[in-house]
Structure 1
Amino acid sequence: MPASLYTPAPSAQRTVLALAALLLLGGLAACGGGGKDGPAAASAATAASAAAKAPVELLVSPEDILTVGQAGAAGRGALITGAIVPEKRADVRAELGAVVQQVLKENGDTVQRGDVLVKLDESTVRDSLNAAEESLRAATLSFEQSERQLQRVKSLQAQGMVSQQAAEDAEVRRNNANSDVLAAKARVVNARQQLQRTEVRAPFDGVVVERKVSVGDTVQVGRELLKVMDPRTLRLEGRISADQLREVRVGQSVRFSLNGYGAQRFEGRVQRVDAVANASTRQVEVVVALVGEAPTVAGLFAEGEVLTQAEAAQGKLVLPQGAVQPLEGKQMVWRLGADNKLQRVEVTLGELDPRHGWWPVKTGVQAGDRLLRNPTASLSPGQPFRLGGAGAAVVSAPASGAKAGAQAASAASAQ
């Protein structure tokens, strides 16, 4: 058959081209470096190929590790903000004008009902009491004398020795003396009450939260002296938006966090929903009774949610958004295996809580599993890792094995 009519098959063409390329590379290697450099180039190519296949070890620092745990609440509901305040609280005020002689309790002191908190100057009140008692004594003597005189007049009237008018006048004097006695007794009682008011006492068991006076201060009636609260009656007094009012009902669960308590979550139940919105903010006040563990400090800012959905996720596992990596329509996380190799695990998630950035986990991981907090796209299953010290970061793998091989070959050629 003439040579001009022969056409090789496509596979044969590729084989011929591959052989020609190998011969050309061999000739170039021989021309460029002689026979001595040929083995070096071959070993460099082998090293580059091995480097391309070997996975890069990750250095994982403690802050890159996320331990799967439970959330106090991953539910969604009406946002509530407010403060922790005691239901039982009192502003203890002065009931008479006097000078403060002694302050017996300081901020933070525990008090029992009836304990003396502040003593006021009693000299003026005691003088008034003495005068009232003397007035009562004189009125009592006058009454007794008028009573005896009335009895004598009545005896003489029975004998016909005095007129009816004289008997009636004696009875009027006796009645007036009796009224004077009653008025004197009232003044004595009032003076004794004023004397008792010089000792300001605790209205109930609780804690002194604010002292407003010091020794030597002159106080008037109604002046605030101390604030007392009962820490066992703390509750959340919060506000919700009028747009979410339809979702809130008495008895619903509430979970909230407090400024100063970090990630700790507290629980409560809606106790009362006000019927009137605030005139300035148009928000509605909601009172929440605490359930279970309660804070010990009043006045802290609180923020949480009224759980209006069944997705409360009490005790469920949750993951932050950054730990979940979408891949081909699936949700993946990277688990740190016991064999120091990465494991790509598919997880089934619930509905995202946008307020906290939590994914409720249904399946895939268990409590205590260690995951990468913010995985990158360059990770591969089975990739080895080792734990580094504080401050270390996750080391990303090279972009591709071919690039690593090219770098190794370049280094070998430079030698």
Structure 2
Amino acid sequence: MKRTESLGRIVVTLAALVAAMGCLLACSRKSAAGGEGEKAGNTADSAAEVTVTTVARADVTSALTVTGTIAALPNRDAKVSSLVQGRIAGMMVAEGDHVSPGQVLAKIEDRPFLDQIQQAEAAVEQAQANVENARLNRDRNEGLLERGIAARKDVEDARTQLSVNQAALRQAEAALALARLQLARTEVRSPLAGTVVKRFASVGEQVDGTAATPLFEIANLEEVELFGNVPAVYLGKIRVGARLPVITDAFPGKTFAGKVVAISPAVDPSTNVGTVRIRMSNSRRLLRLGMFLSAQLPLETRAKALVVPAQAVYRDEQGNPEVYRVEGDDASAVPVKLGIETKSQVELLSGVQAGDTVILTGGYGLKDHAKVKVREGS
């Protein structure tokens, strides 16, 4: 009986083992089938997704970016100083104020100059009295000489004294005129119409009456100029009268119309650069002295050139330019020679023809004749 039960257990165990092996075999086949399917799927999905563009013909212009700062036009900017020494009694204008020629900008304390005028006037009166006395003395001596009473030497001395006193009168009158001029100079006036762009002093400060201590800077800002440095190799390609766009970070998206008005006839031998002056209208006073600007100077234009967007040009492992020409699902690497390059497009001098389809985005890392999938809508 016990032997029969043992045989039964053995049979059940063998049956369980057979069933387990069958399940393992089935799972193995499913896994193999799944792996093959996944591999096939990976092969189908290995094509790189790209966007494309077409090689087109268009006019393209090369330009040189010139940077510099804003300055006033020649003879339309002045640093105004007091012409006399003294203490500042009043400041009549502030930065940003518009002024006209002759307008009083500041006042220097005038009490010392009024005193000088009084002294000069007194000196003139004294000189006038001396002249009158000398004239009477001359006339008297001449009368006595005619009557034979006075000596000729006395007459000559009287005449000489009159001349000396007349010269002293002229000197006193000149001193009075200078004193009056100095008094007038206590009013510091604007030499031109413009805007007060800077104020250097305040009421109560002492000035020495020289250009070394300016009180104001006045500039006419109706028009301003950009002074830009240009390498000598490009100076011959720039023409006076050329019009060009000028931009500044101070006004993003806004473009100012510039015009080349002068090209430096000499270059700096240490840097081999020359100066170009670009003039702009500034009726709204948006541009300020010292502001940093950049301009695009046109150098050369080529009509109907073969062009592509700048991002359609890639580089091979050696750094040489190339594009990927797309035919069906094949992308072939085509070496190209570049011409004029701008921020938005590049001229291609060789390697492609108008109408060729080339990769715009998605071409980085692709090999020659790589399989690609063009993104819909590109």
Structure 1 length normalisation: TM-score? 0.59
1:149 offset after TM fit, Å?
1.9
The AA in structure 1 aligned to 2:148 is G
Matches within 5 A, 1:246-285: 246-278=236-268, 280-285=270-275
The yes-or-no answer on 1:379 pairing with 2:375 is yes
- 2:40 corresponds to which residue? none
- 2:155 corresponds to which residue? 167
- Distance in 2 (CA, whole Å) between partners of 1:192 and 1:292 is 40
User: Is contact 1:153-1:167 (8 Å) kept?
Assistant: yes
Gaps of 5+ in 2: 1-25, 27-58, 315-322, 328-337, 348-353, 363-372
Residues 134 and 293 of structure 1, relative CA distance in 2, 3 Å threshold: closer
The yes-or-no answer on 1:354 pairing with 2:346 is no
Gaps of 5+ in 1: 1-30, 32-72, 331-350, 365-373, 384-415
User: Is contact 1:76-1:305 (8 Å) kept?
Assistant: no
Q: Which one of the candidate residues 90, 93, 98 is aligned to 2:81?
A: 93
Q: Which one of the candidate residues 272, 279, 297 is aligned to 2:288?
A: 297
Equivalent pairs, count? 278
1:311 offset after TM fit, Å?
5.8
**Residues 248-257 or 181-190, more deviating:** 248-257
User: Is contact 1:78-1:247 (8 Å) kept?
Assistant: no
1:94 offset after TM fit, Å?
2.0
Matches within 5 A, 1:30-45: none
1:293 offset after TM fit, Å?
7.5
User: Is contact 2:232-2:272 (8 Å) kept?
Assistant: yes
- 1:8 corresponds to which residue? none
Residues 329 and 202 of structure 1, relative CA distance in 2, 3 Å threshold: farther
SS in 2 for 1:226: strand
User: Is contact 2:142-2:155 (8 Å) kept?
Assistant: yes
Higher strand share: 2
1:375 offset after TM fit, Å?
6.7
Structure 2 length normalisation: TM-score? 0.64
Q: Which one of the candidate residues 201, 208, 216 is aligned to 2:204?
A: 216
**Superposition CA RMSD, Å:** 3.5
The yes-or-no answer on 1:131 pairing with 2:131 is no
Q: Identity percentage over the alignment?
A: 24
Residues 297 and 75 of structure 1, relative CA distance in 2, 3 Å threshold: farther
SS in 1 for 2:265: strand
Matches within 5 A, 1:62-77: 75-77=61-63
User: Is contact 1:206-1:231 (8 Å) kept?
Assistant: yes
SS in 2 for 1:231: coil
The yes-or-no answer on 1:122 pairing with 2:107 is no
Runs (4+) off by over 6 Å: 323-327, 374-377
- 2:68 corresponds to which residue? 82
Q: Which one of the candidate residues 226, 229, 232 is aligned to 1:239?
A: 229
Residues 327 and 74 of structure 1, relative CA distance in 2, 3 Å threshold: same
User: Is contact 2:64-2:297 (8 Å) kept?
Assistant: yes
- Distance in 2 (CA, whole Å) between partners of 1:312 and 1:265 is 25
Residues 287 and 358 of structure 1, relative CA distance in 2, 3 Å threshold: same
- 2:29 corresponds to which residue? none
1:287 offset after TM fit, Å?
1.5
Residues 133 and 255 of structure 1, relative CA distance in 2, 3 Å threshold: same
The AA in structure 2 aligned to 1:228 is I
1:291 offset after TM fit, Å?
5.8
SS in 2 for 1:263: coil
User: Is contact 1:251-1:271 (8 Å) kept?
Assistant: yes
The yes-or-no answer on 1:308 pairing with 2:295 is no
**Residues 298-307 or 222-231, more deviating:** 298-307
1:183 offset after TM fit, Å?
0.6
Matches within 5 A, 1:325-336: 328=325
1:189 offset after TM fit, Å?
1.2
User: Is contact 2:196-2:218 (8 Å) kept?
Assistant: yes
SS in 1 for 2:239: coil
- Please give the per-residue CA displacement for 1:218-269, whole angstroms capped at 9, x wherever unaligned: 1112211111110013111111012212212333333322231223222322
SS in 2 for 1:126: helix
The AA in structure 1 aligned to 2:71 is V
Residues 292 and 203 of structure 1, relative CA distance in 2, 3 Å threshold: closer
SS in 1 for 2:89: strand
- Distance in 2 (CA, whole Å) between partners of 1:312 and 1:206 is 45
- Distance in 2 (CA, whole Å) between partners of 1:358 and 1:264 is 22
The AA in structure 2 aligned to 1:215 is V
